[in-house]
Amino acid sequence: RHVIGLDALRFIAAMLVVAYHYGFWFWVNPSPVSSPGLQHLISFPELFSSTHFGWVGVQIFFVISGFVIAFSGERAGAYAFMVSRVVRLGPGVWICASVTLVVVLIGGEWSVYHTLRAYLHSVLFIPVAPWIDYAYWTLGIEIVFYSLVFLLVLRGKFVWINRLAMVVGLVSTLFWLMAWMASIGDAGPFAQLMQQLRRSRILALLLVHHGIFFALGIFLWLALVKHRSRENQLWCVFFCAAGCLQIALTAAATNQTTGSAFSAWTPVLFWLGAVVWVVLSVRKNHRVHALPQWFLRLLKTVGMMTFPLYLLHQVAGAQLMSSLVQAGAGRWVALGGALLFSLCGAWLVAVHAEPALQRLTKQVLLRVGTRFSFG
């Protein structure tokens, strides 16, 4: 049955990312993507200590993806699997990127050429920058992971999903062990090389940076849904430990970039709490389904809102915040307005706009499949 607890966890992860951008990142490390002029207008230092770790929401997303894609890949043919992924990602991206495009053009901070190029990179799922919103950096990584699972399904080798998880997870773990060794040594050539590799988009697309989390999601699915064997449980523990290492090193890098000194324990503990949430969501799913129907519908709705919320909040939210401040609004009003826009926009997209475009996209792809005998 549908694991409703994962819907709630998705929304929490998205809100962590929103809080990170609105409460910390915009003010300590602005970029052209998130309206750098906003930093000179307002700031929220009161929120830094409670929002600095929100980036860990992305790692939570990747674990959920590993779990859900393994769950859905087992039950689908190759073409059906591909259709489900296109329908899941495409309409949301096309709608949200278009909304952001309008907001950016109205704001007038980017050149028209750069704006249109970033828009095309986004709606065509081109995995390298520029994008209309930097949140799109994760989509290329997700698509590479989907593609690997698709190849297993296509060749009738889905039973090798555990091998895929082992390879991807172990390569990623080895990389972060090397990064940790470089971080505790002198700032020599090896440390400089690892710094460059940690910023490499190619390695990110090869799942070297985040493969740990997809692997953990797959093994959680294996251990909780398929085979509750000691081997699968040990792999879960192993990739949990590797994930903690990656998060700790990412926290240290964030501190270095922003001149902060926050503890790495906060994002590590939040992430471990999310892993426990996944476990409990699966094991107690039958009890969750016994809750009142209105509450279950609410959880499903916020789960649907997660993707548009993630795609809409950063650039469009920053532009709105900047406009409100320039119009005379206080900083907290501007923050509240951006948050309200992001949540309401995500709800409108998820409940009204996205389902219609998803149905249309699915119909077109199924007709193509029938026409060319895919399936």
CA-based nearest residue to 358, from 95, 65, 2: 95
DSSP 90-149: HHHHHHHHHHHHHHHHHHT-S-HHHHHHHHHHHHTT-SSS--SSGGGHHHHHHHHHHHHH
User: Which residues, other chains included, contact 122 with Cβ-Cβ below 8 Å and sequence gap of 6+?
Assistant: 93, 97, 131, 132, 133, 136
Assign residue 76 a region (left: φ > 0; alpha: ψ between -120 and 50; beta: otherwise). beta
- How far is the C-alpha of 73 from the C-alpha of 225, rounded, in Å? 14
From residue 72, give the alpha-carbon distance in Å to each of 50, 353, 356: 35, 24, 22
Identity of residue 296: L
- How far is the C-alpha of 319 from the C-alpha of 116, rounded, in Å? 17
**Angle, vertex CA 172, rays to CA 271 and CA 248, nearest 5:** 40
pLDDT score at 94: 98
pLDDT score at 33: 56
Written as tens digits, the pLDDT of the chain (375 aa) is 789 999 999 999 999 999 999 999 988 876 655 566 677 778 899 999 999 999 999 999 999 999 999 988 888 889 999 999 999 999 999 999 999 999 989 887 778 899 999 999 999 999 999 999 999 999 999 999 999 999 999 999 999 999 999 999 999 999 999 999 999 877 788 999 999 999 999 999 999 999 999 999 999 999 999 888 999 999 999 999 999 999 999 999 999 988 999 999 999 999 999 999 999 999 999 999 999 999 999 999 999 999 999 999 999 998 899 889 989 999 999 999 999 999 999 999 999 999 999 999 999 999 998 888 776
DSSP one-letter code for 335: H
Give the number of other CB atoms < 10 A from CB of residue 26. Answer: 26
Work out whether the CA dihedral 152, 158, 163, 168 comes out positive or negative: positive
Assign residue 373 a region (left: φ > 0; alpha: ψ between -120 and 50; beta: otherwise). left
Kindly report each contact of residues 326-330 with a partner whose C-beta sits within 8 Å and lies 24 or more positions away, as own/partner.
326/41
pLDDT score at 40: 74
pLDDT score at 38: 74
pTM score of the predicted model: 0.95
